[in-house]
Chains A and B, each alone.
Chain A
Amino acid sequence: EIVLTQSPGTLSLSPGDRATLSCRASQTVSSNYLAWYQQKPGQAPRLLIFGASSRAAGIPDRFSGSGSMTDFTLTISRLEPDDFAVYYCQQYGSSPLISFGQGTRLESK
């Protein structure tokens, strides 16, 4: 069973800072089928990045994804107040077919 481990659990930064969120898989992610989602309180998740590095429609270019095989990163270049939320990574293709990381909470310092 593939396990996604996100770090850090909580990240405290200020608007304008650069945020770097990590997602490490216990085994190689099939074809880099790795996605990132943003979730705000009381809302459904929103797709940010798919295929490890492709931005979803309407996602600002301050969000970028990188990585391959077992190590993936979501970078937010200049934090805006609206970016403080919980972020999840998700893989497709292993067993279980789909799995999520435990999330990283990005909070305002």
Chain B
Amino acid sequence: QITLEESGPTLVKPTQTLTLTCTFSGFSFSNSAVGVGWSRQPPGKALEWLALIYWDDKKHYRPSLESRLTITKDTSKNQVVLTMTNMDPVDTATYYCAHNGGWFSRYSMDVWGHGTTVTVSS
């Protein structure tokens, strides 16, 4: 059974850097051709994809946010970390990590974490 859990600060100040960690179980980057992605959802709004990292360390970013985002993985810890620099109140959202099943799931996000809410305010 695949599970993912997001962790990180609930409140950050404008201009600060946000660091979120996704800790997962039920799969491993060392033996699965899969990925882990991050998406977010501002209150009352639609989902917005942010970044994706694959088992082979290939990384993809939302073009409009690429300069602010970094995604990394720690295979030994079963973790994926997302950092977002220069946070602004418009970045207030629930941030989700999700398992991307690769070709098997036609690159859909087949298992999601519960999400973590981040508020950007001074």
Q: Is the CB of B52 within 8 A of A97?
A: yes
Q: How far is the CA of A97 from the CA of B96 in the complex (A)?
A: 17
Quick one: which of B97-118 are within 8 Å of A by CB?
Answer: 98, 101, 105-115
- Which of A31, A52, A56, A96 is within 8 Å of B63, CB to CB? A96
- Shortest A2–chain B CB gap in Å is 12
Could you tell me if A35 and B113 are in contact, using CB atoms closer than 8 angstroms?
A: no
B interface residues, tally (CB under 8 Å)? 25
Interface residues of B in 49-74 (CB under 8 A from A): 49, 52, 60, 62-64
Interface residue ranges of A8-51 to B (CB < 8 Å): 31-33, 35, 37, 39, 43-47, 50-51
Question: How distant is B113 from chain A, measured CB to nearest CB, in Å?
Answer: 7
> Smallest distance from the beta carbon of A41 to chain B beta carbons, Å?
10
**Max chain A Cβ within 10 angstroms of own Cβ: one of B48, B106, B113:** B106
Q: Tell me the bound Cα distance from A97 to B61 in angstroms.
A: 8
- List chain B positions with a Cβ less than 8 A from chain A: 37, 39, 46-49, 52, 60, 62-64, 96, 98, 101, 105-115
